[in-house]
Amino acid sequence: MEGQPTERPLKVCPHCSVASRTDADTCPNCGKSYVRGRPTLRWSWWLAIPIVAAAFAIGYFGISELVDGDDTEGISREQAESVPGGISPDELSERLGGESETVSTGGLTCASYTVTDGPDPAWLFCFQGDKLVRSDPIPE
């Protein structure tokens, strides 16, 4: 074993795919290096950077709009509770403003307002004729 010549390693060229037993750093067939060079940064990465930045900006400003946006239409729970009984639909509309859904059923005309705070999503004001007879929160 000590007297035997050492066998050269088998190397496969990454460029021309020829297998050779050699100690050289270059392929005897094509002359290129056996060691592959580090891949260069492709142009696609430069395209990805603005896309990621745009996604971040949209996410940041979209979330801040959801969190900071107090532009929801509706009334507060305190406003709903402060409406006195016996007022007319016109007085209610003047007092609360905004949009309401109106439903007529069983001789009552009821207006529903969205509540922007509190546990209940809406408040129902029911009129009999021209007089407020009922004012209750609508639970979820």
Digit-coded pLDDT (tens) for 85-124: 999 988 998 888 877 888 888 889 999 988 888 788 889 9
Asked if residue 33 belongs to a domain, the reply is yes
Domain containing 18 equals 10-37
Residues 6+ apart with CB under 8 A from 121: 114, 115, 138, 140
Q: What are the strands, taking DSSP E only, across the chain? A: 10-12, 19-21, 101-105, 108-114, 122-128, 131-138
Q: Considering the entire predicted model, what is its pTM?
A: 0.48
Asked if residue 66 belongs to a domain, the reply is no
Asked if residue 50 belongs to a domain, the reply is no
Q: Which residues of the chain have pLDDT under 70?
A: 1-5, 37-43, 64-72
Closest by CA to 14, choosing from 42, 37, 45, 41, is: 37
